[in-house]
Structure 1
Amino acid sequence: MMPFGTSSICAICRNQPSITSCEGCQKKFCTTCLSQHRDQLSMELDDLVNHRNELSEIINSASSNNTNNINPCFEEINRWQNEMHKNIDRIAIIAREQVRQLLSEASKNVRTELDRISHDLQQRQKTGGYVEGDLDRIKQQLTSLNGIVQRFNEQIRIDTYNTNSINWDTLLVVIPINASQKNIKVPNVSTNSMLYSSYNQSKSFFLIV
């Protein structure tokens, strides 16, 4: 067998004579290794496509209105929202209990006076010991108690002034960490350096030597 020059030996197997040269890596390959080299480039291209698809999914997710977005900022917003709800619920529960206590205390005082009037009426019914003046006095007492009962709701007021003074728009603020990221520029890639997975489309990458 006629010996081959070093420059004519396949760059992969280092045994067979090279017949083609890759424009990308400038290496020479035999017929068998040429296919192997193209397969390797094809796998690298597939990896790039997969990487591109992953980036596309992340970008689409970031720009969508999906509430299940994986961005941790959404989780933090949800935690804040839940915490605010808990605080509001807690304050509302305390306020309701305070209203109940005030109403209970007010009704207790009225109940004591009403029980006294009730006892007086029962005794007078049994004994018949009453005249016009007694009835007028009891009537005035009942009218007075009725006025107090009717004013129960007026004796308690809910003050929401502090809530009205809250600047709700400043309670939760979204701050971009790096504003310069808004103008990200991707470097241009020459069309001649693009890879094609199809072997038939790759003929322009090789020269017959």
Structure 2
Amino acid sequence: MATGNKSNLCLVCNKLPGVRVCIGCNKYFCPKDFREHEKQLAIKFDNEVVRSHDELLDQIQKLEKSNYLSSNLFAQIEQWKKITINKVERAAEKTHRQLIDLIDQKRTGITKQLELITKEVRSRREEETFVENDIDQLKQKIDKITQKLQKIIQKDKNQSIIVENNQIDWDRLIYVREIQEERDIEEEQQDSGKQINCEYFQPKFWKKKKMRPTVYGNPHCIQPS
């Protein structure tokens, strides 16, 4: 369709009438150049949209490999585990020695008491210097030590000496949380169309200039040196 209005001429050749209008750029094209324009749009779509989409999808799929994104953080966790195990083993060995020392201390005390009675018993028996009162007194001393020994044995059976520590919060001994910018939270609000309670998220998202996963260890519990 011919027209004398130059504003409706084809944008590309500027000769033929612009009988096709692109609703995206609102420009006029002749049929030939319009087809070329559509072709260029398809190329642009593939280069800028499809390619970016595929690259993003590939990156997301790589995240399925848990050690792809934060291999250094996984290494930190493994290092922390080794150090913590070593500290736990040393603490257990120390407590083991303490228990042995405690048992030996009680056993040594009773043994020393019995040694004195043993000397007296052997001396009186060899020399035959004992009467009824001596027998009663020695028997009382022996019974008294026997009672002490039975108390120790009974305490051990009743587990009155407890090897235990429930003060460690194993769920918080080491943990991971995300450090996120306030701007990222606002973007999540816009994407979800909902107002996020920032106070609720405060324990999880700290305002920093850079977002990164971070490994935390509880300072009140076992920490790697």
Higher relative contact order (CA 8 A, sep 6+): 1
TM-score, length-normalised on structure 1? 0.49
Structure with greater Cα Rg: 1
